[in-house]
Amino acid sequence: MLELLLKDLKSAMLAQDGPRTQVLRMFLAAYRNEAVAKNIGPQGILAESDALALVKRLVKSREESVEQYTRAGYPDRAESEKAEILILKEYLPAMLEGEALEAAVREAVSVTGAATRKDLGKVMKHLQAVHGGAFDGKAASQIAQSLLPQ
């Protein structure tokens, strides 16, 4: 992902796309900070799963900011955060949503033999192992809870 990020940053700079350049620079800084935190060093390459987790955290942070700005009456700042989210989501794999997510959760419930909501952890662990970061954990948890009895 680091190579793609650096290539995209260079392209944005050459195209003089200020907003995109700013978001990608922020992403690169966060990537390097994460690499340092993992004792790889600032020039180190994160594992794909760590890089995807980083992107998800950055997106989630911006989604929370959108909500706060909207509540506080700053629609222009909320729109700016939404634009950043769109740029960051380009680095995430295609996400399971809707019927595909529900089918994956149903499969996980049957494979793990989950019988009650106490088995929710098994279901989520199986989803993570099979689909990696390609699903929204909150949505998957809600679906699993609706399928499992108390």
3-state helix/strand/coil string of the chain: CHHHHHHHHHHHHHCCCHHHHHHHHHHHHHHHHHHHHCCCCCCCCCCHHHHHHHHHHHHHHHHHHHHHHHHHCCHHHHHHHHHHHHHHHCCCCCCECHHHHHHHHHHHHHHHCCCCHHHHHHHHHHHHHHHCCCECHHHHHHHHHHHCCC
| Greater pLDDT, 129 or 80 | 80
Protein fold of 2-89: Hypothetical Protein Yqey; Chain: A; domain1 (1.10.1510)
Domain(s) of CATH 1.10.10: residues in the chain:
98-147
Domain(s) of CATH 1.10.1510.10: residues in the chain:
2-89
Please tell me whether the overall predicted TM-score, pTM, comes out greater than 0.75 for this model: no
| Greater pLDDT, 21 or 98 | 21
The CATH number of domain 98-147 is 1.10.287: no
Q: What is the pLDDT of residues 70-126, one digit of tens each?
A: 999 999 999 999 999 999 988 887 777 788 888 888 888 888 888 878 888 888 888
pLDDT at 142: 84
